[in-house]
Amino acid sequence: MGSGRNGTFDKTPDLQQWAVLTVYAGLDIPALTGEKHLQQQLYGRFITKWLSFFCCETFTLLLHPIEGHGTWDGKKAFGDLPAKSTHEGRLAVLTRANIRLNKIKFFWQHVAPVADKMLTAKGFVVSFGIGEVPWKKQATFSVWESKEDMKAFAYATKEHADVIRRTRSQKWYSEDMFTRFTILYHSGTIRGNDPLGGKS
């Protein structure tokens, strides 16, 4: 998938940053030793060789879905999940939406104010804007120190709460999905730094 600039959605894509999302059942994490072996298992040999040939910097996360709702192209991408779980520690969040064509203008009018607030929110660690189709099929992947911090931003921040209200009342999306994950493992860097600060 393509990627936006500055950790969020962007009308101008970052052509030097891309996202690959794979879903596995029963992946043997202890058996994955070494970054190259890990990438081959997750992405296959072609993408792994591509990354190696062009000396690409990579950052890999292994996640376990714990709660969520909605669908991705009509499918429950991460299986049947409960709406809530008891996990309260550091977590990753993936929100994905298929924006209706007649609502794209309204969606993009509200991106910048929400993104600015997120970057300074308590407990925010890092985020990436990704998507399969420019401007229309968009997703945000973010990491938070706790569920409490994430929920405080999502529902107590005026700008974000207003967007949530508008998306529902004005039906901006033809489909949406929201999933939370625990972080099992991570490796690599982005622009020379570990965005998770060495912590999972």
Q: What are 162-193's pLDDT values in tens digits?
A: 888 888 888 989 999 999 999 988 888 988 99
Instruction: List the beta bridge partners of residue 2.
Output: 131
- Cα gap 196→144, rounded to integer Å: 10
Sheet architecture: strand order including 137-144: 2-3, 124-133, 137-144, 91-99, 173-188, 59-70
Judged by DSSP in three states, 127 sits in: strand
- Cα gap 200→90, rounded to integer Å: 8
Token couple for 1? 């998938």
Model confidence at 121: pLDDT above 60: yes
Tally Cβ neighbours within 10 Å of residue 80.
Answer: 6
- Domain ranges for the chain: 2-24+31-188
Token couple for 187? 């490796």
Contact 43, 52 (CB under 8 A): no
Angle between helix 35-43 and helix 45-53 axes, rounded to 10 deg:
130
Judged by DSSP in three states, 154 sits in: helix
pLDDT band at residue 71 under the 50/70/90 scheme: very high
- Between 42 and 198, the more confident residue is 42
CATH number for the domain running over 2-24+31-188: 3.30.70.100
Residues 134-154 have pLDDT tens digits of: 888 989 999 999 999 998 888
Taking the alpha carbons of 105, 5, 47, 199 in that order, is the dihedral positive or negative? negative
Q: Buried b / exposed e across 20-43, counting CB within 10 Å, b at 16+?
A: eeeeeeeeeeeebeeeeebbbbbb
